Structure 1
């Protein structure tokens, strides 16, 4: 493989896609971050309204059911864009440089999840727990992608499709804590809790196997975003991919035979029937969870590219230019606010409506988006202005 290539693709230095961020990619990432704030507001403040996986359409509050579907787009799009971003990075860097970046960023993300993000929950949960969530998962996937990107592109895409489409065949394999393979299997495909020494726990919220497929597919479509690909060609490919995935989701979901737990009809309640239809398993993400979310992401890339000159895209693109900063910043702010409210009013157990009434979720959302947006925009502009500070690219 020639220097400066990845995945068996020639990457001439004349192609400088990676030197300038594509606004539609950053805009989509920024849009996902806004949705993420909504989800984390619910998770932090409204714990008296638990959301199971998948949710029970017969009992869930409809507003929460539809909100849960909306925020389902966050993780798949974010992981796929990570793979796409790695490809764009590789266009102007050698394989060795890209590998070094992936390994450093991957281990840094794992450390952030374990050392910083997990302790933010301590004091809320009864037992100190290391939450192996999306940041940990992306870190692991980046480390694995450092090896996979050397594969020919066709092989990489095939591997990604196999992992995304067929990992549900492994669902019947359930190991118990007594099995020596339980810890690695829990991290790979079985969402579970691993007992650690000194009374600590590890919760494998994001088993990594299907996410490896998602990041591989994101990397695999990277050539569509090179500077020598005409916008109408890229948009046509994305539209075909997006509508194809959504059509596949509808067909498979109607058949009710593979890809997730069956949906059901709630007699006399079409709204709850729809909620049942769109309620899919996220941990790990089922095939039917990934089809509409990734398909929707492809369509939104086209939309944001078509309205590239709008103020909305410009604002979201700046917002999406500092995703790690926003992720750490907003979770820290939410935890500080929660613990402050906890000290003042006591636990939110469904009876205390001082700070856990779900009707206030939009109020909290509107109140926080601007204070969170301003420092994130400042940091994004700092990253663009100070490219000489290499450490900034890791955040």
Structure 2
């Protein structure tokens, strides 16, 4: 269940990125300037994923393996949106929803079906290794089609920002509720929407967990409904002029989400190395490319240790994020929009 909670992050982040792009574009910027910003920032994110973040994930400089993860998908989604911003927002919304609703129709197509373009199909709608040049391979974890759809849907939903606040809050909540109900129905039918059917387990709890175990790579329709439905209901609940004081730390992290993401990876990795070195004397498996060398047979993170690492990470990064959020609120340097 702890792992399941983290599933909400990537789709909500991609959707909100699209929403933020609409907000930026609606402030009178020429579309050419918006498109240029999306291309440059998108390619910047892709470059960071393949260089800096790759080191944060694996703690080595063996660039024979490159990872196409969530930041990669955000970057290329921005590049795609640079083309879509020239279209009316309603049309972008329709295209985004079509990609979300229909991409599971492509599940039966394997990369091998595309011959020499197998690698391209893996990048678009598959997962696995793509040979690039020499010994260098790209590990595709976040294929692009559904993620472009989620960001495009977020951009199109920016139209809701024009609604009256009370009306918007009610409508967004109802849309989120409808998506959650749709998830239960579609997943319950065990048909279209996810390539992995759920099954009754001996323990009712494990039946629920099996029901919630939707495909993330690539994200299925059921996965998007399962995560974005509750996310929209939460956004509706937070859509109010005066939020409670206890939500202020969330506001700080929300102002600098990319900085938090970039910093939390090496911090948690370093904590894992420290703990493993203390327990085993060394931790070479935490400096290796996937699948990660020879892990100890008894290696595991129990829940108290997991939550302890999470709380420690948040507490350590909060002052840094607050400092940088203050800088972004006072200055308008061009480079700040890239962090």
- Relative distance call for 1:361 and 1:221 in structure 2 (3 A) is same
**Would you say the 8 A contact 1:304–1:313 is kept in 2?**
no
Kindly state the Cα deviation for residue 199 of structure 1 after the two structures are TM-superposed: 2.0
**Would you say the 8 A contact 1:83–1:216 is kept in 2?**
yes
Q: For residue 224 of structure 2, give the secondary structure of its aligned residue in structure 1.
A: helix
**Would you say the 8 A contact 2:92–2:156 is kept in 1?**
yes
Render the CA deviation track for 1:172-223: whole Å, top value 9, x for unaligned.
Answer: 1012399201111000001111123342221110000011110111000112
1:79 aligns with 2:24: no
Q: For residue 285 of structure 1, give the secondary structure of its aligned residue in structure 2.
A: coil
- Relative distance call for 1:196 and 1:97 in structure 2 (3 A) is closer
- TM-score relative to the length of structure 2: 0.90
**Would you say the 8 A contact 1:350–1:356 is kept in 2?**
no
For 1:97, the equivalent position in structure 2 comes to 33
1:244 aligns with 2:147: no
> Which has the larger share of helix?
2
1:262 aligns with 2:197: yes
For 1:164, the equivalent position in structure 2 comes to 100
**Would you say the 8 A contact 1:307–1:313 is kept in 2?**
no
1:392 aligns with 2:328: no
Which structure has more relative contact order (CA 8 Å, sep 6+)? It is: 1
For residues 202-351 of structure 1, the aligned pairs below 5 Å read 202-226=138-162, 229-260=163-194, 261-267=196-202, 269-306=203-240, 308-341=242-275, 345-347=281-283, 349-351=295-297
> How many aligned positions are there?
325
**Would you say the 8 A contact 2:35–2:82 is kept in 1?**
yes
**Would you say the 8 A contact 1:119–1:130 is kept in 2?**
no
For 2:115, the equivalent position in structure 1 comes to 179
Distance 2:213 2:197 in 1: 10
- Relative distance call for 1:176 and 1:207 in structure 2 (3 A) is same
Kindly state the Cα deviation for residue 358 of structure 1 after the two structures are TM-superposed: 4.6
In structure 2, the gaps of 5 or more residues are 286-294
Q: For residue 138 of structure 2, give the secondary structure of its aligned residue in structure 1.
A: strand
For 1:48, the equivalent position in structure 2 comes to none
- TM-score relative to the length of structure 1: 0.77
For 2:292, the equivalent position in structure 1 comes to none
Distance 2:338 2:238 in 1: 25
For 2:314, the equivalent position in structure 1 comes to 369
